[in-house]
Chain A
C-alpha cells in the first residue's frame, strides 16, 4: 500500500470534517475511535516499514505547482517513523484522558485537525508542504489554548502564535533563498528536501541559511533565549493542550534540525556546535534551576520539559550516530513521559482545581495508584535505568562525550538536577502526613484514567528494557544522514568531526 502516508495525513482531517455531523454526546467516543484507527494505521506503517533500509520509504510524489517546483512529496524514514507513531499514540491517549466537558465536540474536531498537521509535518519531504503543515498546526493549538485555557488564555495563545509565526517566516525566506540557490546551480526549481540534501553550499551561504532555519526551529524547540512563550502556553493551556504541545509540537523543532539543518548545512552545523552546545547547556542547567523554584506542579514539568529539550539539542549536534540516534530516541521518550506527567497533573487539577505544591502533601496515602504511576513517570523523566528516559539521555551523553568531555560533564548534571527538582516535587506533594484536609476526600484514579495511563507505563518500561529494535531502525537513517553530511562537507574539520560508526557504514553499503 503505497498511499499509506496520504491516508495517515488526511484520514484525521476527513474525520474531523465528518465530525461536524456527529451528535454532541457521542463526539468523544467518535474522537477516540478515529484516533485509535489512526494509531492502528501508524502501527501498520511501522510493521510494513522495511527496517533494513535507511532510505525514504512509501514515497509519494505528485507535482503541484510545476513552474515553481512545489510538489506533494511525502516519505518516511527511520527518523520520522517513530515520531509519527508517537504522535498518533499520544493523540489517542490524550483523547482517552480528555476531561473537558464544555464544547467537547469542537475540541475533538480541533484535535483531529491538529493530528493531521502534526503527521503532515513529519512525513512532508517538500519544504513548502512542510511549511504548510508547520504553520497550520498553530491554528488548532491557538484555539485549544484560547478557548479552554486558564484566565490569561488569550494572551498566552496569541503569544504562542505570533512567536512561532515570526520565526517561521524567517525560515520561509531561508527556504526561498535555498530554492533560488538550487535553481542557480541546477536550473530547476524545486523545494524537494531530498534534492536539496544533495547540493553542497559555500560556507558563508550555509551560515546564513543555518541562521534563518535556526530561528524557525529554535523558537519551536524552544531554545534558551526564545523559550519565554512556553511557560505561558503551558501555564494557560488545558491538559490536552499541554500534552500535545510537550509531546509533539516541540519535537517538530528538533525534527526540523535533523531533517533540514544538519544534512543541508553540514559545515555550518559543525561550526555551530559550540554556540548551540552552550545554549543547550544553559537550557539544561538554568531551566532546571527555575524548575526547582516553581510552586506550581505544572510549571515544574513545563520547565523540566525545556531542560530535556536541551539534552535533545545537545545530542543532535554531537555529529555522531550515537548522539543523534539517542537524541531521536529521547524525543520519543520525552514525548511519552512529559505527556504522561502533564496528564497526571491534569488529573489532580480536575480533582482539586489547584496545581500548587503547597496545597498537597501525603497524596501517596490517599491516592496510591496515582502516586505509583506518577512515581514511575517521574523516574523515567529523571532518567532512571530500565526506564525509557535513561536510554536516550545516556546515549546523548555518550555521543557528546566524543565531542567534548568537559561540556558532557556539565550536561550530566541534568540527571542530578532533574532528580533534585523532581524528587522535591514528589516529596512535597506525595509523602509526609496529609496536611490539607481537603486532600483526604480525594478519589483515586478512575477506570478511564487508568486505561489511559497504563499503556504509557507499559511503553515506558518496555522501551526502557528493550530499546534496541527501535534504535537500529533509527540508526540506519541517521547513518545515511551522517554519510551524506560528511560527503558534502567542504572543510576538513567538518569531516573529522562527523563520526560515522564503521560497522554500520558497512551495512548501509
Chain B
C-alpha cells in the first residue's frame, strides 16, 4: 500500500497558475458562448478576448517575484513577469486588427479566438517554468494553436505556410526532445536549476564536454528554428507571406519573446558556466542571421517578405545580446522587443489595411512595392505613418527601435565585443537601404495604377491601433527611462540558477 499523499492546497501556490488558467477558462467560455448561440459577430469575440486578456494582465501584475508553485514546476521570476506582460500587451494590440471593414474568413469562427487564447496560455506556461517538460508542453500547445491560426486564413498559400511551419516545428520539437534527453543523461535532472548545479560540479572535475555541448547544440537547433536563426530561417518568409499580415507581425514578436525567454534560461546557464563554445556558436549564429537576412531582404519584391526578412535580421540582433551573459545584455533583449513590438506590429497593420481580396498587382504577391508607389498622393497620412515605421525599423533616432538598438549595441560594447557592435552598425546601414526603398516608392514615385486599393480594408479600430503604434514609436524617448529601469530591475531579480 502506498501511503496516501497529502498536499495542502496552499502549498500548490495556485496564484502562480492563475494567469494561464484565466486565458484557458476564457477560451472555453468563448466556445461555450458559441455553443449556446451561433452566428455571433466577431466584434463580440474580439472585445471578450481583450477583456480576458486584461484580466490576465491583472493577474500577472499581482504575481510576486521569486515564487514557485505547483510542486516547483512553476517559476515566477522577474523575466517571467516581464515576458508575460509583453506577450499579453502584444496580444491586446493584435486582436483588434480582426475588426477590418471587409470580412475575412478566419475571424467569423469563434474557434479562432479560443485558439488564440489557448496559444497565449501556452506561451505563458513556456516563460514561467524551468522544467524542460513543462516548457515543452507549453511550446507545443502554443505552436499547434498557431499553426491552426495560420491555416485558417483560407488561402492556398496559407495552407502551405501552416504545413511548412508545422513540419519545421515538428523537427524543432524533435531536436528539443533529444536535447532534453541529452541534458537528462548528463545531469540526471530536467529542472534547470538542478541541471546548473550538477553541471557546475561536473565542470570542476573531468567533464564530458562532448555530451554537455551536445545537449546544448541540440537545444540550439531547436531554438534556432523557433527564433528563425540562420540556417534554420528558411521557413520564415514563406510562412509570413502565407499568414495574414497582422498574424505575421504577431509571429515576429510574441513567439520570439517566449522562445527568447526559454533560450535565455537554457543557454544563460551554459554561458554562466563559461562554456565558451556555446557562446561563440550563438554569436556566430547572430552575426550570420543579421547579415544574410539583410542581404536577402535587399532583393525582395514584396513588402511583406521584406518585413519578414527584416524581422529575422532583428532577431539576429537580439540573439547577440543573449550571448553576452551580462545583466545589461539580458535586459536589452526585453527592452528591444518591447520597443520593436509597436513599430513592427504597426508596419504589418499598415499592410493589413491595404490587403484586398484579389491580387491587383500580378498573381505572385499581395504587397509588391509598386502597390505603395505614390502613396503620398493617394493617402498622405498613411504614407507618413508607414515612413515613420520604416525609419524606426532602420534605427533612425528618436524613434523607438533606435533606443533598443542603442541599448543592445551599448551592452555589446560593455561586454568587450566592440567588433560585434561595429558589425551591428554596418548591418543597420545595409538594412536602411531596403526600408528606404519603400519610402522612395511611397514618396518619390508616381502611383502605378488608378486603384484606391491601399486603404481597402481600413476601419476605425485599425486606425486606432495604428495610432497607438505611432504614438509609442514617436514618443518612445519619454518612456525609455522607466522601461529600462523596470526591466533591468526585473531581470536582475531573476537569479534562479547559480547566478
Contact = CB atoms under 8 A, between A and B. Distances in A.
Contacts of A172: 406, 409, 425
Contacts of B425: 166, 169-170, 172-173
10 contacts: A65-B484, A67-B481, A68-B484, A154-B444, A169-B395, A173-B421, A173-B425, A176-B406, A176-B413, A179-B410
Contacts of A169: 395, 425-426, 428-429
Interface centre among B410, B477, B478, by most A CB within 10 Å? B410
A176 B403 CA distance: 12
A132 to B, nearest CB: 4
Interface in B466-499: 477-478, 480-481, 484-485, 488
Interface stretch (A157-165, A337-345, A358-366, A387-395): A157-165
Interface in B426-474: 426, 428-429, 432-433, 436, 439-440, 443-444
Contact of B484 (A67, A135, A139, A183): A67
Interface residues of B, number: 34
A139 B384 CA distance: 12
Interface in A117-173: 128, 131-132, 135-136, 138-139, 142-143, 146-147, 153-154, 157-158, 161-162, 165-166, 169-170, 172-173
Nearest to A145: B444
Contacts, number: 93
A136 B396 contact: yes
Interface of B: 391, 395-398, 403, 406-407, 409-410, 413-414, 418, 421-422, 424-426, 428-429, 432-433, 436, 439-440, 443-444, 477-478, 480-481, 484-485, 488
B397 A131 contact: yes
A226 interface: no
Contacts of B406: 128, 172, 176
Given A146-B440, A158-B433, A162-B429, A173 B484 contact: no
A401 interface: no
A150 to B, nearest CB: 13
Contacts of B484: 65, 67-68
Given A162-B429, A166-B426, 8 more contacts: A65-B481, A67-B484, A136-B397, A139-B396, A146-B440, A161-B436, A170-B426, A180-B414
Contacts of A146: 440, 443-444
A349 interface: no
Contacts of B424: 173
A177 interface: yes
Given A172-B425, A176-B410, A161 B443 contact: no
Contact of A173 (B391, B407, B422, B439): B422
Chain A interface residue number, banded: 20 to 34
* Interface residue SS majority, chain A: helix
Interface of A: 64-68, 128, 131-132, 135-136, 138-139, 142-143, 146-147, 153-154, 157-158, 161-162, 165-166, 169-170, 172-173, 176-177, 179-180, 183
Shortest beta-carbon contacts, A-B, top 8? A169-B425, A166-B429, A132-B397, A146-B444, A65-B481, A173-B421, A176-B410, A176-B413
Contacts of B422: 170, 173
B444 A153 contact: yes
Interface centre among A65, A138, A154, by most B CB within 10 Å? A65
A177 B432 contact: no
A104 B274 CA distance: 61
A161 B391 CA distance: 12
Given A146-B443, A153-B444, A180-B414, A158 B436 contact: yes
